[in-house]
Amino acid sequence: MKIFWLSCLLILLSLKSLEASQIYFKETTSQETSEIQQHLLSFYAQQLFEAGLVENLETAIQSATAEWFQETIDNPNKKNYYYHIVSKDFLKCSGYIVYSITDRTAYLDAIYLEGPCRGQGFGKLVLEVFETDQRKNNIEAIKLYVFAHNIAAFKLYGRMGYLIETSYYDGNKTIGHHMKKNLSKTEVK
């Protein structure tokens, strides 16, 4: 057990000195993409439940699945990009990023980080790398949706310059926000 906690401490100390240049995205295989899609569906269902939009997880899974199928019907030519998040120093951080591009706008569908990577600044670095990559590809803006109960992500996006475009409510309760950041070409590193 001591070895586990020592490993966690070393990972956390390493994260403190992690820089955006040490992170890159690795395209997923078709099998990995399928696994991420399943995880995303379950994760989205959990978010619907936590937001109070459905009464139970079973209904949340049905709703998430129906939304996913409707999205594929409504946008048959939409291409989603699935990448593993990798740190060059091989920290035990794992996660993925999923996005799509329409015209000159990237739509960030998910940044998912496992365990010790959360709350340590790793998400900020991932977002910095993503933004830099999108600038290099002449993307002018990034849009995303964040559930209101995901306070850490909402605050991160705000600190990174994302502005609320639209907020959604259920009565007086805020459910979530569509956010957008315009990318400046002068910021390419």
pLDDT at position 6, please?
38
pLDDT digits 0-9 by tens, 5-17: 434 444 444 444 5
Chain CA centroid to CA 87, Å:
16
List the chain residues with pLDDT less than 70.
1-21, 89-93, 185-189
What was the pLDDT predicted at 12?
44
| pLDDT for the residue 92 | 61
Residues in the chain: 189
CATH number for the segment(s) 20-182: 3.40.630.30
The neighbour count for residue 86, using CB atoms within 10 Å, is 16
- Distance (Å, whole) CA 111 – CA 88: 18
Closest CA to 110 of 126, 101, 97: 97
The pLDDT, as a whole number, for residue 87 is: 77
| CB neighbours of residue 184 within 10 Å | 11
Domain limits, the chain? 20-182
The predicted structure's pLDDT at residue 43: 92
Which pLDDT score, from 0 to 100, does residue 14 have?
46
Q: Max Cα separation, the chain?
A: 52
